[in-house]
Amino acid sequence: MTKYIFVTGGVLSGLGKGITTASIGLLLKGMGYSVTAIKIDPYVNVDAGTMNPYMHGEVFVTEDGGETDLDIGHYERFLGTNLSRDHNITTGKVYMEVITKERRGDYLGQTVQIIPHVTDEIKSRIRDVAERSSADIVLVEVGGTVGDIEGLPFLEAARQMRLEEGSAGALFIHVVLVPKLSTTGEFKTKPAQHSFQELRRIGIQPDIIVARSESPINPSVKGKLALFGNVATDEVFNSYDVDPVYEVPKVLKEQGIDRVLARKLSLEYREPDLGRWMEFVERYKNSSRTVEIAMVGKYTALKDSYLSIIEALKHAGAHLHVKPVLKWIEATDVELGKLSVKESVESVNAAVILPGFGARGAEGKISIIKYLRELEKPVLGICFGLQLMVVEFARNVLGLQGANTTEVDPNTPYPVIDLLEMQRGVVVKGGSMRLGALPIKVLRGTLAYRIYGADIVYERHRHRYQVNPAYIDKFESAGLRVSGVSHEGFPEMMELIDMKFYFGTQAHPEYKSRPLNPSPVFMEFLRAASGS
Ligand code: GLN
């Protein structure tokens, strides 16, 4: 029988509920149970793919091409498993299904209502994932904050599931912020108290409380949270800020959350084995040799826009015993002349040209790429990054003035990057890019082959444009060679032959990087960057 753990949030969003959920998952997995996780996003968008990164942070792409919330990335990294698009449930998906059924006549004769029709749809989606994954435990994180109008149907569905599954079959964990007043150093529980009331108002009593705080809270604060939250003191846990976040499972375990979870869910207790995981954490913390990496993008004001890339650098760094120090370069500032190219990248050891869309910042990135290439610094271009490396090379090495991607300049005389064949005629924007894990043929004798050591690799994609095959001969004769090819036949990876690491990839290797299994692309990049 599958057991469910619902994780709700109080006070404000962006608390790190995703990390808490993933950490609990890791502990249960360490106890020998099979675990999976679902993220509920109460917004009306069908998926995260149509949102600006500033709204939402990174769009995390799953193997099956789902454009999902970045918490799915946390779950994959902590649980070490691939999840599918169905693990991200949104209001958009739920309503679309209910309305489709209504039109089809599935509810003929009835008034279609939020309870039971919408809540039934939510429950059936959760149970479908449980069934298909055949997990012992399904974690269900409800995005947003308790009290949000959008979240109500999901919390109501969760409340009903507790009734249906029984108290050992479904558990509620409420994650709350406990702020510290800088003037007095005092931890305040009032906002948390309000969120407990808000939960109770809709019929949910938490079983476990996780208090998020900047620094460890004292026992009296825990006592207060227990009193107002109506739980025992040993059912209150504190997740204070740690670096890296991969240490959170240990923080929670030290306070005994694993035993309380086992007791409440009537599971046999087995000591979670965190051996290899903590080895990784220790390596990360003990890596003192720094490498400065320029992160060149246009959503740099919100670092979450590039979350999986940041994590992939951490994973590889720990394995190589180096600490990547990130220097964020806002390409728009370079484009507008607010920041000089030299100032932005002269001091760095290497640079990542980040993924992106549209014209803003593109010229800024191109001038940075030129400078990096001329200085022979290691460069990793991801997706739009690869595309702009190709544009820069076309303009400044091949002398093709005005070369561009047709995404930025539809009338360029040299469309070195052009719309994918399969995208012609695509007008719908949602879920219509070339998405998900697709095979790439890696050519022998290349840097790409040294990276992967395999002829065929699968990486995840999210793009509409490609390197225009008509220019391949010109590129190759000038030293920019194709080292990976898609199954449709267009270049997936390109590299400069006489440089140590000047490599662009159309795919996103960051999505598959895991703490215990870092991406080989990031490993090789950091090796080059650190001279190891
Ligand atoms: N905008 C580019 C494309 O659609 C690159 C996308 C990306 O960087 N993810 O092909």
Q: Which residues pair with 505 in a beta bridge?
A: 382, 493
For ligand 1, atom 8, the nearest C-alpha belongs to 355
In this structure, the residues whose C-beta lies within 6 A of any atom of ligand 1 are 355-357, 383-384, 407, 462-465
Find the mean pLDDT for residues 311-322: 97
pLDDT digits (tens, 9 = 90+) for 232-254: 999 999 999 999 999 999 999 99
234 CB-near residues (< 8 Å, 6+ apart)? 256, 260
439 CB-near residues (< 8 Å, 6+ apart)? 456, 457, 458, 486, 487
What pLDDT is recorded for position 515?
97
For ligand 1, atom 3, the nearest C-alpha belongs to 463
Determine the atom of ligand 1 nearest the C-alpha atom of 466: 10
What pLDDT is recorded for position 11?
78
Determine the atom of ligand 1 nearest the C-alpha atom of 382: 8
User: Would you give the DSSP letter of residue 218?
Assistant: P
pLDDT digits (tens, 9 = 90+) for 387-414: 999 999 999 999 999 999 999 999 999 9
Measure the CA–CA gap between 423 and 438, rounded to whole angstroms. Answer: 16
Q: Residues 481, 461: contact at Cβ < 8 Å?
A: no
Measure the CA–CA gap between 398 and 405, rounded to whole angstroms. Answer: 15
Ligand 1 centre to CA of 286 (Å) is 36
Q: Which of 305, 360, 387, 423 to mutate to test the pocket of ligand 1 (most atoms within 8 A of CB)?
A: 387
For ligand 1, atom 6, the nearest C-alpha belongs to 463
Active site residue 383: yes
Determine the atom of ligand 1 nearest the C-alpha atom of 354: 8
Active site residue 141: no
Ligand 1 centre to CA of 462 (Å) is 7
Secondary structure of residue 521 in the 3-state scheme = helix
Write down the catalytic residue from 335, 392, 510, 524. Answer: 510
pLDDT digits (tens, 9 = 90+) for 102-158: 999 999 999 999 999 999 999 999 999 999 999 999 999 999 999 899 999 999 999
Per DSSP, helices labelled H in 301-435 are 307-320, 331-335, 341-345, 362-374, 384-396
Q: Residues 508, 388: contact at Cβ < 8 Å?
A: no
Measure the CA–CA gap between 413 and 411, rounded to whole angstroms. Answer: 6
Ligand 1 centre to CA of 346 (Å) is 27
User: Would you give the DSSP letter of residue 339?
Assistant: S
What pLDDT is recorded for position 117?
97
Determine the atom of ligand 1 nearest the C-alpha atom of 508: 9
Active site residue 174: no
Write down the catalytic residue from 383, 407, 459, 463. Answer: 383
What pLDDT is recorded for position 217?
96
Q: Residues 404, 410, 414, CA angle at the centre, nearest 5°?
A: 40
Ligand 1 centre to CA of 192 (Å) is 41
Ligand 1 centre to CA of 298 (Å) is 13
For the cut 90, the answer to whether the pLDDT of residue 442 exceeds it is yes
Whether the ω angle into residue 244 lies within 30 degrees of 0, i.e. cis, is yes
Ligand 1 centre to CA of 166 (Å) is 47
Which among 306, 342, 302 is positioned nearest to 324, based on CA atoms?
306
For the cut 90, the answer to whether the pLDDT of residue 292 exceeds it is yes
Model confidence at 479, pLDDT cuts 50, 70, 90, reads very high
In the numeric block, the tokens 């799915």 are attached to: 72
Find the mean pLDDT for residues 50-67: 92
Which among 207, 258, 247, 264 is positioned nearest to 230, based on CA atoms?
207
Q: Domains in the chain, please, with CATH?
A: 3-189+197-252+266-279 (3.40.50.300), 287-530 (3.40.50.880)
Model confidence at 259, pLDDT cuts 50, 70, 90, reads very high
Whether the ω angle into residue 116 lies within 30 degrees of 0, i.e. cis, is yes
What pLDDT is recorded for position 487?
95
For ligand 1, atom 5, the nearest C-alpha belongs to 384
Determine the atom of ligand 1 nearest the C-alpha atom of 385: 8
pLDDT digits (tens, 9 = 90+) for 300-309: 888 899 999 9
